[in-house]
Structure 1
Amino acid sequence: MRKIVVVDHLKDWDVTIEDVEVIEAQSYLTDPTYTDIRNARIFNLCRSYKYQSAGYYVSLLAEARGHKSIPSVTTMQDLKSPTIVRAITVEIDDLIQKSLSSLRSKSFTLSIYFGQNVAAKYEKLCKQLHDLFQSPLLRAQFVLKDEWVLQSISPIPVNEIPEHHWRYVKSFAKSYFARHRFSGARITRKIYDLAILIDPDEKEPPSNKKALQHFMDEADSQGFYVELITKDDYRRLPEFDALFIRETTSVNHHTYKFARKAFADGLAVIDDPVSILRCTNKVYLAELLTKAKVPTPKTMIIHKDNKDEVEAELGLPCVLKKPDSSFSQGVVKAKDSKSLQKELNEMLADSELIIGQEFLPTDYDWRIGILDKQPLYACKYFMAKGHWQIYNWEGKKQDTAGDVETIPFEEVPFTVLHTALKAANLIGNGLYGVDVKEVDGKAYIIEVNDNPSIEAGCEDKILKKNLYASIIKSIKRRIDNHKNIRTNE
């Protein structure tokens, strides 16, 4: 993939970096040679990003051509709005206060060159601001009121870099391109770039190490450069064409932040942010399934005004779920009136709404894997030993999860498959795992998971490596479709 630095005038960027081209904005905007490039990363160092300026059009046309632009037009717009700047940076307020606590002035200007500053003590703050606003050269203005406040953050015109800073800028730029994966000659043969987000410390990740290796091998065979990334690689998302999340997702979590950022930047994303929002909130899911008349166990949305009606409505025992429960965590079974009231009071203290469902005991739950609105695999997830759920986090380590049996589609009851597809298709066209209970020949949806388990030796027992190939092909197709849409706009 070509790496191109775009400037207004060549004299603005007298820095030679291996495998990095430097061209003028006029050439990029008007020369057909650059229009026809299929894969390129554009590092926009024009003096201005104002609306309808050359710098603005460089990023705008880069996106139209299917190139990856840094900064993107979305970032340019974000930088203009003090409201958006404050909203985006609220999460690093503690770092701002800590980093600037020793200052005695009432205002402070921080220059950020490729995520760094000439003073090492501001390294963490610079990195975080660069993560949030993907732009090579930034100027952050802080003012001291009751506490330090980020008043504005704006691009630094390349011709306004102080002369005594240039030796640092050159060093930072070379480090930036050398550190980032897009600078490696070893991957120039690859057409696509895939990031797989994982948490190396997660105890029960969606994919085990062997499955991750299968994903990487299949991606490589289909023309991808693929890299495992972690939550520390947020600022590197613009390097990639696609993001595949293989750690447990949640809305109030970096996984959603990654999905949202990648989706906004035009990457193909599994799990996409809309699917995460819809699947991880059980209140939304209950309302969606009820409205679409998809069969579920008897369900009610519980709040403080109807909590006394739960026992009469659902009977005992019944199941209570926190809105963001996953992998059997945040899900309890109330056996009697006393435990019901206790659990209701505890859950409603944390959330205005929770979910209650009638208890349907079965030896196993069906899990139907669905991709692109088509069934991918089918499994029986048996309950953990001596427990009523497929996971028992309080049991012995060897009894945490029940057995898994992978089933050919021809042996899956039609009603189970049909109901699972109907539920998943309400969410979107991503990768989902639909949990279904089969009782007396009828299928009931328990939940739709946006981040289903795919482990070597379990879900892949029938399709084997073709399971991984199917998912990578879907990601590849999404990238191509997105690029074609942009090319034809």
Structure 2
Amino acid sequence: MRKIVVVNNPEDWEYNTIDEVEVVLAKTYLTDSSFTEIKNARIFNLCRSYKYQSTGYYVSLLAEARGHKAIPNVTTIQDLKSQTIVRAITEELNELIQKSLSRLKSRNFTLSIYFGQNVAKQYEKLSKQLHTLFQAPLLRAQFVYNKEWILQSIQPIPLNEVPDEHQRYVVKFAKAYFAKNRFSGVRASRSVYDLAILVNPAEQAPPSNRRAMELFVSAAESLGFYVELISKDDYRRLAEFDALFIRETTSVNHHTYRFARRAEADGLVSIDDATSILRCTNKVYLAELLAKAKVPIPKTMIIHKDNRCQVTPELGLPCVLKRPDSSFSQGVVKVKDEESLQEQLSQMLLTSELIIGQEFMPTEYDWRIGILDKQPLYACKYFMAKDHWQIYNWDGKKNDTTGTVETLPMEQVPFFVMHTALKAANLIGDGLYGVDLKVIGDKAYVIEVNDNPSIDHGWEDQVLKKDLYLAIMKSIKRRLDAKKVSKNESGT
């Protein structure tokens, strides 16, 4: 992949000792038709201004239209203009900000970030994290102190405004930045697309076990993908890829959601997509959505502080309480009497204004129907963990934390189960979902729709084997092919 640094004035780029990049004037990049023909390029936009409709703005805009990878891209340029967005995006960095700036005596502080680094070692981690969130080569972050340190603004630094005393550091940081292997383009020539798979190696109960991950990679490579497993530290690298496949437990107030949102903003195909994460991971939203669509669900109640006394008359006891963002049976409790009900409600309502209450529907197993592209993919029976009312028992002994799984051919799934599952999943979108249902008599009740469903070797793949992984990778490739066709037809 060609690495092209775009500047307004040749005098702005004084780092001729860096031979890993081409330096091009902004006017040349915008007007020379030869740049339109380049198929694989990364554009490092170091123009003096990214103001709307300025030269710098158009460099990033046309880079994206040409299929080049722009840093910063237009999304980042727009984000940097909004103080509200800046604060929202950096909210999770508050602890790091307080720790990094705790020794300062002044009430104002300016942090200059050059290619992800700062001249002072003590601000290295904060600089890297801010650069990860706002991918621009040169940034200036302004902090003010009002009871605690607050990020007031973060803006690009024009190359011609870098202080003379910092120039030698910028040269050093730029050399390290441009020398990274991620910009080298040394990828198999047969690769048709680049796929990033987001994982968390430290996650105790990931959506896919190690062997399943190996099979995903193998399936993708068989279709011509270049595949790389990435972690939350690789946020700034997303623009390098064509598609993102999330295999880490998702949540809205979490980096997985930001990865999906950023991927879509950068034009990547993303499974999960941000909308699916938003809809599936909040049980309050899901309950309202399913009820409105008249999808059968257990008797359900949205509980808040003013109606907590109505739970027992409405749902009976025992009943089930769920945190809105619960997953893998965590944050879900069964209460047997009024005392434990009120105790659990008090705890849950401390962290969420609304929680979900449902009638208790005991069954020997839950159905899980995997759905992709609005079509059934796999079907399982998840049996309850030993001596427990859920399929997961996180307090159980090592070998008793989960029940057994039976995966069945589609023809063995009752029609009413499949029909109900598809109706529920299709309300969310056309991504990859796992619909959990309980069957009472001849009726199926949707418990929840999961984005990012579990796909483990030896469990969900019992029937399809390797074809399960291949089906998901083929879906990603079809989406990429469709984007390419659409792009060609639109002339961009």
Query: Structure 1 pair 26/248, CA: closer, same or farther in 2 (3 Å)?
Result: same
1:352 paired residue number: 353
Q: Does 2:260 match 1:268?
A: no
Give the count of matched residue pairs.
489
Q: CA deviation at 1:32?
A: 2.9
The answer to whether the Cα contact below 8 Å between 2:6 and 2:44 also exists between their aligned partners in 1 is yes
> In structure 1, the residue corresponding to 2:204 is in which secondary structure?
coil
Moved more, 419-428 or 78-87: 78-87
Q: CA deviation at 1:397?
A: 0.9
> In structure 2, the residue corresponding to 1:427 is in which secondary structure?
coil
2:110 paired residue number: 109
Report the residue type matching 2:417 in the other structure: V
Give the Cα–Cα distance (whole angstroms) in 2 for the partners of residues 189 and 159 of structure 1: 42
Moved more, 394-403 or 120-129: 120-129
Share of identical aligned residues, percent? Answer: 73
Q: Does 2:5 match 1:5?
A: yes
The answer to whether the Cα contact below 8 Å between 1:368 and 1:417 also exists between their aligned partners in 2 is yes
Give the Cα–Cα distance (whole angstroms) in 1 for the partners of residues 415 and 20 of structure 2: 55
2:191 paired residue number: 190
Moved more, 305-314 or 400-409: 305-314
Q: Deviations over 1:306-326 (max 9, x none)?
A: 333322322332222121111
Query: Structure 1 pair 315/343, CA: closer, same or farther in 2 (3 Å)?
Result: same
2:399 paired residue number: 398
1:142 paired residue number: 143
Moved more, 26-35 or 354-363: 26-35
Q: Deviations over 1:176-202 (max 9, x none)?
A: 233352324244653322221111111
Q: Deviations over 1:378-436 (max 9, x none)?
A: 11111111211111111111011111111111111111111111100101111100001
Moved more, 280-289 or 155-164: 155-164
Please, what TM-score do these two structures have when normalized by structure 1? 0.93
Report the residue type matching 1:245 in the other structure: I
Q: Deviations over 1:343-396 (max 9, x none)?
A: 333333432222222222221111111111111111111111121111111111
Q: CA deviation at 1:445?
A: 0.6
Moved more, 166-175 or 280-289: 166-175
Report the residue type matching 1:7 in the other structure: V
Q: Does 2:166 match 1:171?
A: no
The answer to whether the Cα contact below 8 Å between 1:199 and 1:247 also exists between their aligned partners in 2 is yes
Give the Cα–Cα distance (whole angstroms) in 1 for the partners of residues 229 and 125 of structure 2: 23
The answer to whether the Cα contact below 8 Å between 2:20 and 2:178 also exists between their aligned partners in 1 is no
Give the Cα–Cα distance (whole angstroms) in 2 for the partners of residues 480 and 57 of structure 1: 27
Q: Which runs of 5+ in 1 are unaligned?
A: none
Q: Deviations over 1:17-67 (max 9, x none)?
A: 566433332332223332233443222122221222221101111222332
Q: Which runs of 5+ in 2 are unaligned?
A: none
The answer to whether the Cα contact below 8 Å between 1:180 and 1:236 also exists between their aligned partners in 2 is no
Q: CA deviation at 1:146?
A: 4.9
> In structure 1, the residue corresponding to 2:179 is in which secondary structure?
helix
Moved more, 179-188 or 328-337: 179-188
Please, what TM-score do these two structures have when normalized by structure 2? 0.92
Give the Cα–Cα distance (whole angstroms) in 1 for the partners of residues 102 and 312 of structure 2: 55
Moved more, 3-12 or 263-272: 3-12
Query: Structure 1 pair 186/434, CA: closer, same or farther in 2 (3 Å)?
Result: same
The answer to whether the Cα contact below 8 Å between 2:20 and 2:179 also exists between their aligned partners in 1 is no
The answer to whether the Cα contact below 8 Å between 1:63 and 1:486 also exists between their aligned partners in 2 is no
Q: CA deviation at 1:483?
A: 4.6
The answer to whether the Cα contact below 8 Å between 2:260 and 2:272 also exists between their aligned partners in 1 is yes
Report the residue type matching 1:417 in the other structure: M
Report the residue type matching 1:238 in the other structure: A
Q: Does 2:444 match 1:422?
A: no
Moved more, 220-229 or 156-165: 156-165
Query: Structure 1 pair 484/166, CA: closer, same or farther in 2 (3 Å)?
Result: farther
Give the Cα–Cα distance (whole angstroms) in 2 for the partners of residues 474 and 222 of structure 1: 11
> In structure 2, the residue corresponding to 1:447 is in which secondary structure?
strand
Report the residue type matching 1:368 in the other structure: I
1:411 paired residue number: 412
Report the residue type matching 1:8 in the other structure: N
